[in-house]
Chain A
Amino acid sequence: MERKTHASERPDHRRRRHRHRAGKRSRPTRRLLLLLEKRDLNAGASGANHGLLHSGGRYVSGDAEAAIECREEGDILKRLAPQCIEETAGLFVAVDGDDETFAADFPGNCKRCGIPCKELDPARARELEPYLSERTFAAYEVQDGSIDPFMLALDNVAHAVSLGAKTMRNARVRSFDIEKGRIRRVHVTDETENREFIVEPELVVNAAGAWAGEIATMAGAQVGVICSKGTLLVTQDRLSTRVINRLRKPSDGDILVPGGTVSVLGTTSVRVPSPEDATPTREECVRQVEDAAKMMPVLASTRYIRAYAGIRPLISLGGSDDRNVSRGFSLVNHDHEGIDNFITISGGKLTTYRLMAEKAADLVCEKLGENTPCRTREEPLPASVSGRWTEPGLAPRNFAAETGRTDVMLCECELISRSVIEEITRNLENMRGRSALNAIGMRSRMGKGPCQGAFCGPRVTSYLYDREVLSGTRGIEELKSFIQRRWKGQKPIMWGRTAEQVELQEALHCALLELELTGEDE
């Protein structure tokens, strides 16, 4: 391990060894694109959202522009990234006690935004979705979808890499050297290897989400990011075929999105001081469950698997209620602040991610003097090997079809076999980061079922020892870290079956394996 030293204190010749010369490659027309990620893909809000491809229906009553954007982008993504999307359709339903005027205005508002919307008789809606409340008084069908944000990110990055981009995980930006109004050097810590390196960029794109404000500050610029925490809950079973939206002014706990074999309920909107405050609380979960049960009574008794929270970066435009702060995105060219080669793209929502990238890429090209048009509006997003195992249900189908009886089921909740873990491990390479176990969890459904890692955690750890991916006591440390991450999502929903499962897990991990006694003092 290299001693951490600030690069500028080192002799010049040493520093050069770790220097990436972005933009100065042998072929002059070809530029190097480097993606720096401080933890892992999807570690922030990209992995902690609803997985909802908005029809736009949610915004028709308050933000027509956002509604239209959602409709247009939703159509593009369904066409170009179908592997990541399930076209579930969606219902907007109002139950006794909800605002009748709001509900009555909905179809007209949809029409105004060009959003297809079909009125359903409440009885018909309950035939389609039997868990809807008997007290449903209005129902409309729209074209919502469910999107796998993990597959989407992995496919995007795989596509970029196939076009020559480089990516680094666990690479934390520390500071910028700014000279004559330009960022000359970016100081980065590679936290996998615990060493410092320097990038000399032609241009820096700040797409740090909730951390965009911090990055901008390093460049002496300003981006007013409001951190808004959204807490969501995952059910054990899929409770609806379609996305179910509460037909009322947007509030907490009013959307249930099906994703593969589960449903996701959310979400809150709570202002938090820091992007690191992404811990779901018991109170947020209980409150949403109790409220959403008015829309679907089964939500009061069903088993929840875990809760999670993401931090939305809302771009400050004044005002008090964060739900009224624009969910639109902001593209900032910081040249007006005296920095020529620095732009920020922030805010927005998953449904409009492509449009955000297009606008940002257009600005990048303009600043670099390129006039190649962005092609993501027409070009399909190729399905990648790295993204495929995030899909719920794929691993079981593969197990049934291909490997059969010689394989071993390491994860019985999500039916992930040894050969799938083997394939993911083989493809990890430099994406491993500080924990192979966490990296595998990010790239598959391992640990996402009812056991939440209680059984698959130790089993995959053992397999990684056999494969010589782990050595020494590192596997124990990785297992504990993996389990702690799962715990963060279980603690707020410790009622009913979750409490039973967790006690069994403790009996195994603590009473038998005594994992809590291992660690620093050994």
Chain B
Amino acid sequence: MIELKCDVMVIGAGHAGMAAALFAAQRGLSVVQAGTTGGIDFGSGFIDVLGVHPVAEKRELDEPWQGVASLRAESSEHPYARLNRDDITDGINAFTDFLTAQGLAFQGNEGRNLRLPTPAGTTKRTYLAPATMAPGATALREKAPCLIVSFDGLKGFSGRQLTETLGKNWPALRSAIITFPGLDGELYPEHMANALADPARRKALAETVRPHLGDARYAGFPAMLGVLDCAEVTRHMEELLGVTVFEIPTLPPPIMGVRLRAAFDRGLHGLGVRTLSQKTVMTARPSPDGFRFRAGGAREEYAISARAAVLATGRFFGKGIRQQTHDMRETVFDLPVARPADPDDWYDDVFFSQNGHPADRCGVLFDDDFRPLNDDGTPFHHRLHAAGAILSGHDWIREKSGTGLAVGTAWKAVNTLAKSLGEAG
């Protein structure tokens, strides 16, 4: 058993947990973080703030802040109702500044949403996109001559699918299937990205693509242009091809997951965060001045004394809330979960239902500082905060608000607990 002491225990290693660990460490607090592989590894890299509002009307937003304002006005239960715009933008800025320093830059559209192509051939609105993907929005908007490159052996990414679905309104969109130089059989974005660390391989790739370019001014690739060297790989490909190059997300496992994981591993370690990788919290014992946790998994076990904690375990996929045949339980503290009383009401008959599923709005109730509440409406513990998907009252999947909500709530939770710990001395 390894004993650890810290100011803040962050439970969860998805976007909210990573953001909370980052913000706490940047304020000089000592941080221990536990959590298993999850949302980060499936991340697209898009930083959504709000893409659809109202969800029931399927209204896609070009102006996310107008949507956030009306959401705040309409629903006091939504986490955005407890955040002002500065909380969200300050959090996102701190988050993206950190990632930019690790090699992952982001681009936006002056406060408006970008509209980008997806691998299904649909389009998606987002607030900020990785800089390697953002030019896709310009190509799409201008209907510019563009070649989509897909690779024989990379499943789930068909250039022809994009031209068939988007081509009706984008006649200058073309596609080609090529062989990735030096790799055969089944291709994975991570293998391709690693191969492109070698400039000679980029030249070989450019030679294979060039005959298909024609009059294209843009070339769209499945996201695999490098790992944390993606800015340089993309710039080099643009130089070699003489066109603007952009990436389109792929189906899982995406390269963005690998990039984000690498950036957080390296960057949080540099800030002194103690990461208990692949360890989950097994027991949690609150006391008046903090918490005792036991965390484990394979091999070592840890006993952690923390003065404060951030619960960022996610909803179902993150295992923050476990669905049982008749109930939903919060998995670390056994907090009350807000949910419809009858389990028959948790899901709609239609998977792609216009209103979404009520289960996707379940979670812990919280106060203005994102402290989870007991059944009687009092905070469960004065230094336990929650962030991200485990909060009730939002449907990030239908709203397209995932990362904005994770980062914004983590920002406010950490600010509050930093103040509380500072006052306690």
Is A510's CB under 8 angstroms from B315's CB? no
Q: Which of B148-165 contact A (CB under 8 A)?
A: 150, 153, 155-158, 160-161, 164-165
Which residues on the B side are within 8 Å of A473 (C-beta)? Answer: 121, 164-165
Is A465's CB under 8 angstroms from B160's CB? yes
**Min CB gap B118→A, angstroms:** 5
Instruction: Tell me if A506 is interfacial: C-beta within 8 Å of chain B.
Output: yes
Which of A9-17, A325-333, A402-410 lies at the interface? A402-410
Report the separation of the CA atoms of residues A455 and B346 in the bound assembly, to the nearest whole angstrom. 24
Instruction: Tell me if A1 is interfacial: C-beta within 8 Å of chain B.
Output: no
Instruction: Tell me if A487 is interfacial: C-beta within 8 Å of chain B.
Output: yes
Residues 57-80 of chain B, each 1 if its beta carbon lies under 8 Å from chain A, else 0: 010100000000000000000000
Instruction: Tell me if B102 is interfacial: C-beta within 8 Å of chain A.
Output: no
Other CB < 8 Å A-B pairs besides A405-B186, A473-B164, A509-B352, 19 of them? A458-B120, A462-B119, A462-B156, A466-B177, A473-B121, A484-B351, A487-B351, A488-B349, A494-B323, A494-B346, A495-B323, A495-B325, A499-B323, A500-B317, A501-B317, A510-B398, A514-B123, A514-B124, A516-B353
Least CB separation from B401: chain A residue: A511
Q: Is the interface of A mostly helix, strand, loop or mixed?
A: helix
Which residues on the A side are within 8 Å of B153 (C-beta)? Answer: 408
**Min CB gap A138→B, angstroms:** 29
Which residues on the A side are within 8 Å of B344 (C-beta)? Answer: 281-283
Q: List 21 A-B contacts (CB under 8 A).
A: A406-B184, A408-B185, A455-B251, A459-B156, A462-B161, A465-B161, A465-B164, A476-B120, A480-B352, A501-B317, A503-B397, A506-B357, A507-B39, A507-B397, A508-B252, A511-B400, A512-B249, A513-B118, A514-B122, A516-B58, A521-B58
Instruction: Tell me if A321 is interfacial: C-beta within 8 Å of chain B.
Output: no
Instruction: Tell me if A217 is interfacial: C-beta within 8 Å of chain B.
Output: no
Is B316's CB under 8 angstroms from A500's CB? yes
Instruction: Tell me if A463 is interfacial: C-beta within 8 Å of chain B.
Output: yes
Which residues on the B side are within 8 Å of A484 (C-beta)? Answer: 350-352
Residues of chain B at the chain A interface (Cβ within 8 Å): 39, 42, 44, 46, 48, 51-52, 58, 60, 118-124, 150, 153, 155-158, 160-161, 164-165, 168, 177, 184-186, 249, 251-252, 315-317, 319, 322-326, 343-344, 346-347, 349-354, 357, 359-360, 396-398, 400, 402
Which residues on the A side are within 8 Å of B123 (C-beta)? Answer: 514
On whether A513 and B122 interact (CB within 8 A), knowing A409-B155, A458-B251, the answer reads: yes
Instruction: Tell me if A126 is interfacial: C-beta within 8 Å of chain B.
Output: no
Is A504's CB under 8 angstroms from B42's CB? yes
Which residues on the B side are within 8 Å of A511 (C-beta)? Answer: 48, 396-397, 400, 402
Is A510's CB under 8 angstroms from B319's CB? no
Which residues on the A side are within 8 Å of B186 (C-beta)? Answer: 405, 407-409
Is B249's CB under 8 angstroms from A410's CB? no
Which residues on the B side are within 8 Å of A475 (C-beta)? Answer: 121, 161, 164-165
On whether A510 and B352 interact (CB within 8 A), knowing A500-B319, A515-B122, the answer reads: yes
Is B122's CB under 8 angstroms from A517's CB? yes
Residues 474-501 of chain A, each 1 if its beta carbon lies under 8 Å from chain B, else 0: 0110011001100110010011100111
Q: Is the interface of B mostly helix, strand, loop or mixed?
A: loop
Least CB separation from A485: chain B residue: B351
Interface size on A, residues (CB 8 A): 59
Residues of chain A at the chain B interface (Cβ within 8 Å): 279, 281-283, 286, 289-290, 405-410, 418, 455, 458-459, 461-463, 465-466, 468, 470-473, 475-476, 479-480, 483-484, 487-488, 491, 494-496, 499-504, 506-518, 521
Report the separation of the CA atoms of residues A418 and B58 in the bound assembly, to the nearest whole angstrom. 35
On whether A459 and B155 interact (CB within 8 A), knowing A496-B324, A514-B122, the answer reads: yes
Which residues on the A side are within 8 Å of B343 (C-beta)? Answer: 282
Report the separation of the CA atoms of residues A282 and B325 in the bound assembly, to the nearest whole angstrom. 9
Which residues on the A side are within 8 Å of B165 (C-beta)? Answer: 472-473, 475-476
Least CB separation from B159: chain A residue: A466
Report the separation of the CA atoms of residues A259 and B320 in the bound assembly, to the nearest whole angstrom. 34
Is B185's CB under 8 angstroms from A507's CB? no
Which residues on the A side are within 8 Å of B326 (C-beta)? Answer: 286
Is B155's CB under 8 angstroms from A418's CB? yes
Is B251's CB under 8 angstroms from A459's CB? yes
Is A470's CB under 8 angstroms from B164's CB? yes
Is A512's CB under 8 angstroms from B118's CB? yes
Is B118's CB under 8 angstroms from A514's CB? yes
Is A517's CB under 8 angstroms from B52's CB? yes
Report the separation of the CA atoms of residues A504 and B322 in the bound assembly, to the nearest whole angstrom. 14
Is A466's CB under 8 angstroms from B160's CB? yes
Report the separation of the CA atoms of residues A518 and B58 in the bound assembly, to the nearest whole angstrom. 10
Is B185's CB under 8 angstroms from A476's CB? no
Is A516's CB under 8 angstroms from B44's CB? no
Which residues on the B side are within 8 Å of A409 (C-beta)? Answer: 155, 186
On whether A513 and B120 interact (CB within 8 A), knowing A470-B164, A496-B323, A499-B359, the answer reads: yes
Report the separation of the CA atoms of residues A409 and B156 in the bound assembly, to the nearest whole angstrom. 11
Least CB separation from B168: chain A residue: A472
On whether A512 and B124 interact (CB within 8 A), knowing A408-B153, A494-B347, the answer reads: yes
Report the separation of the CA atoms of residues A472 and B60 in the bound assembly, to the nearest whole angstrom. 22
On whether A410 and B315 interact (CB within 8 A), knowing A473-B165, A507-B42, the answer reads: no
Report the separation of the CA atoms of residues A484 and B357 in the bound assembly, to the nearest whole angstrom. 14
Which residues on the B side are within 8 Å of A518 (C-beta)? Answer: 122
Is B44's CB under 8 angstroms from A512's CB? yes
Which residues on the A side are within 8 Å of B158 (C-beta)? Answer: 462-463, 465-466
Is A410's CB under 8 angstroms from B350's CB? no
Which residues on the B side are within 8 Å of A500 (C-beta)? Answer: 316-317, 319
**Min CB gap B222→A, angstroms:** 11
Which residues on the A side are within 8 Å of B351 (C-beta)? Answer: 483-484, 487
Which residues on the A side are within 8 Å of B161 (C-beta)? Answer: 461-462, 465-466, 470, 475
Report the separation of the CA atoms of residues A503 and B193 in the bound assembly, to the nearest whole angstrom. 28
Which residues on the A side are within 8 Å of B354 (C-beta)? Answer: 516
